[in-house]
C-alpha cells in the first residue's frame, strides 16, 4: 500500500489540532466513526466529490505505516480501497500540512504527491 495517505480539513480544524497536539477529524469524520484518508491516486477525486468549491482547506500528508492497526483499508467508491483511521491522528505521523487553494476553475490546486 501507499507510504503517504492524504486528508483534507478546514484550516480552523487543523489549527485546533496543532494547538491540541492531536487531530480528531472533521464533523463528517466524527459522524462516520473514522477519519477519512485517500491515496495520491484518489485525493483529487475525493476533493471534487466532498470538498468542491470549499476554501480555507489544508491538505495533510500522513505516514500510513505509523498508524498501526487503527488504519483499515476498506472498500468505498466502486469497491476501491480507501484508508480509514479508527483513532485520533497523532501529529507525529504527519509528514506535512499545506494550504489547498482553489484555482480559477473552482477545482483545488494540488501539490505534487508521492
Burial annotation 21-51 (CB, 10 A radius, 16+ → b, else e) = eebebbeebeeeebbbbbbbebbeebbeeeb
- Residue 73's SS3 state is strand
Confidence band of 77 (pLDDT split at 50, 70, 90): confident
Confidence band of 114 (pLDDT split at 50, 70, 90): confident
pLDDT for the residue numbered 82? 95
Name the residue ranges covered by the structural domains of the chain: 4-100
Q: pLDDT of 42-67, one tens digit each?
A: 999 999 999 998 999 999 999 999 99
Distance CA 100, CA 106 (A): 12
Query: What is the DSSP code (8-state) at residue 102?
Result: B
**pLDDT higher than threshold 70 for residue 2:** no
> Mean pLDDT for the chain?
93
Provide the CATH number for the domain formed by 4-100 in this structure: 3.20.170.20
Amino acid at each position: 500500500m501507499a507510504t503517504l495517505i492524504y486528508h483534507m480539513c478546514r484550516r480552523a480544524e487543523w489549527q485546533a489540532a496543532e494547538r491540541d497536539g492531536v487531530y480528531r477529524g472533521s464533523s463528517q469524520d466524527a459522524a462516520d466513526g473514522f477519519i477519512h484518508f485517500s491515496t495520491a491516486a484518489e485525493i483529487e477525486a475525493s476533493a471534487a466529490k466532498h470538498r468542491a468549491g470549499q476554501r480555507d482547506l489544508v491538505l495533510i500528508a500522513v505516514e500510513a505505516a505509523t498508524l498501526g492497526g487503527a488504519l483499515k483499508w476498506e472498500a468505498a467508491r466502486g469497491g476501491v480501497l480507501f484508508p480509514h483511521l479508527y483513532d485520533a491522528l497523532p501529529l507525529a505521523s504527519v509528514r506535512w500540512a499545506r494550504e489547498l487553494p482553489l484555482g480559477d476553475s473552482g477545482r483545488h490546486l494540488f501539490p505534487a504527491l508521492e
